[in-house]
Amino acid sequence: MSSVQRRLSLGLTLAILVVALLGGVLSFLAAYDEARELQDDVLRRVAQLVERQRVYAPTTPLGFQIQGDEEDSRVIVQHLGPEPSAEPRPGDETIVPLPATLPDGLRTLDLGGESFRVLVRTTAAGERFAVMQDSRLRRELARYGALRTVLPFALLMPVLLLVVAELVRKLFRPIARLAQEVDGRDEAALHPVAEEGVPSEVRPFVRAINRLLGRVQQSMAEQQRFIADAAHELRTPLAALSLQAERLEQTALPFDAAERVAQLRGGMERSRHLLDQLLGLARAQSTSATRQAPQSVQAVFRQVIQDLLPLAEAKGIDLGVEGEQDARVAAAQADLHLLLKNLADNAIRYTPTGGRVDLCLVEQGGDLLLQVRDSGPGIAEDQRAQVFAPFYRLPGSSEGGSGLGLAIVQALAARMGARVVLDWSDPQQRRGLCASVLLPRASA
């Protein structure tokens, strides 16, 4: 019963049942009272007729019955005294035994195990008589009246419950849509939740969520700004140190000193690459909107090759584009370039000397696959989900790197609405890595 919708439906159902039951009880009581008044009025009118009949025909016997359509509706008229004024006529039932000392008026008596409503009257001549009727008539009339009141409720109860359930479901539908909208958001989507169509009772909660999202967005922005500022500030002294090391390397140095200077320059280069990757990760995780426009895939491929060709030539890697097919995708140019550059950079670093790295475009239905294939060792299936975590390095890997390349790729793909899939370049030999980026085609 933690569901408000179920509790509300159950509460309304119980309320309807209680109202129906209460209506039946009140209807029974009202019908019972009305039936009693009706019965008393019938007895009074019969008594008046008997009194008038005694004036014009005083010798007529008083022991008779007025039979209605039902047995319970009969009215019995009989003499009341020590002795009856006349014997019942043939066909009449046995006279009801009434005490001769009954005073005039209306009362309910239990006679022979049955309840009767009795009216005792005295004529002007001093003759006393009783007019009576079975009390079951009142109970039946009251029962019929209550049944007429409750029967519509009983017949319409299933329909009413279905209507209540549907109304409650419709009332809670905006809340369900709100929950689906919030649950389906990306972790970087921190824009406020729309209040349109939300019930007024839920709006304070929505506003509280929006304030929380604002605080989270501000905190993330400050964190990303700190990373970007720190990386930017560290690049200047590293560049100065690298320049000093380069000048020092140009001087005549002993062999041991020259070797240490070379190691120093290598460490500075790795630090510079780490700072660049940190800066790229901060930008990729940024929630600021980027303008998306149709981009030529081949143009981005050529730019990536131009940037990474020196690194590929240094390792003897054959870096190129497979096929000449071109298409346009909807993405920000800087994001798409950085994503493919990191994939190609990783492929070059982990492919052995003399290997091959290819960039290619594959059509898949209405979408496009941008693939980077290499001839390296590839990534095992049980490691493919973990390599997207920041600073994660494959066990046993001797290649230097920051462990941020695929984390940047994942963040950029999430921001562009793309999906990254890792597989073998050569499934039969289970070697090489094929990184595929699924992107929608740009509308014409």
The amino acid at 313: E
Most confident of 162-171, 251-260, 418-427: 418-427
Q: How far apart are CA 61 and CA 63, in angstroms?
A: 6
Q: What is the mean pLDDT of residues 334-340?
A: 87
pLDDT (0 to 100) of residue 84: 45
User: Is residue 361 domain-shared with residue 407, that is, in the same domain?
Assistant: yes
Per the model's pLDDT, the better-predicted residue between 141 and 362 turns out to be 362
* Domain limits for position 57: 4-144
pLDDT above 80 (res 303): yes
Most confident of 36-40, 250-254, 433-437: 433-437
pLDDT (0 to 100) of residue 59: 67
Residue 152 lies in a domain: no
- For residue 195, the SS3 value is coil
Q: Which of 271, 288, 305 is the last residue of a domain?
A: 288
Rounded to the nearest integer, the mean pLDDT of the chain is 79
User: Is residue 320 domain-shared with residue 238, that is, in the same domain?
Assistant: no
What confidence tier does 85 reach under pLDDT thresholds 50, 70, 90? very low
CATH number at residue 278: 1.10.287.130
Q: 437 has which bridge partners? A: 370, 420
Q: Which of 93, 115, 144 is the last residue of a domain?
A: 144
User: Is residue 204 domain-shared with residue 273, that is, in the same domain?
Assistant: yes
Q: 76 has which bridge partners? A: 65, 132
pLDDT (0 to 100) of residue 223: 76
User: Is residue 337 domain-shared with residue 246, that is, in the same domain?
Assistant: no
Residue 160 lies in a domain: no
pLDDT per position as a tens digit, 186-200: 666 777 888 777 778
pLDDT (0 to 100) of residue 100: 80
pLDDT (0 to 100) of residue 373: 92
Per the model's pLDDT, the better-predicted residue between 284 and 178 turns out to be 178
pLDDT (0 to 100) of residue 357: 92
Per the model's pLDDT, the better-predicted residue between 305 and 416 turns out to be 305
CATH number at residue 124: 3.30.450
List, as one string, the DSSP characters of 346-385.
Answer: HHHHHSPTT-EEEEEEEEETTEEEEEEEE-S----GGGTT
Give the DSSP letter of residue 332: -
| Residues in CB range of 337: below 8 A, 6 or more apart | 300, 303, 304
| Residues in CB range of 340: below 8 A, 6 or more apart | 300, 301, 304, 359, 370, 372, 437
Q: Does residue 342 contact residue 402 with C-beta atoms inside 8 Å? A: no
Q: How far apart are CA 240 and CA 109, in angstroms?
A: 120
pLDDT (0 to 100) of residue 90: 43
User: Is residue 282 domain-shared with residue 303, that is, in the same domain?
Assistant: no
Q: How far apart are CA 29 and CA 20, in angstroms?
A: 14
pLDDT above 60 (res 86): no
Q: Does residue 368 contact residue 361 with C-beta atoms inside 8 Å? A: yes
Residue 176 lies in a domain: no
User: Is residue 303 domain-shared with residue 431, that is, in the same domain?
Assistant: yes
pLDDT (0 to 100) of residue 400: 60
0.95 exceeded by pTM: no
Residue 159 lies in a domain: no
pLDDT above 60 (res 88): no
Q: In this structure, what is the dihedral angle of CA atoms 383, 387, 390, 393, given to the nearest 10 degrees?
A: 70
pLDDT (0 to 100) of residue 429: 86
Distance from CA of residue 72 to its chain's centroid? 61
pLDDT (0 to 100) of residue 92: 46
- For residue 114, the SS3 value is strand
- Residue 290: which region, alpha, beta or left (left: phi > 0; alpha: psi -120 to 50)? beta
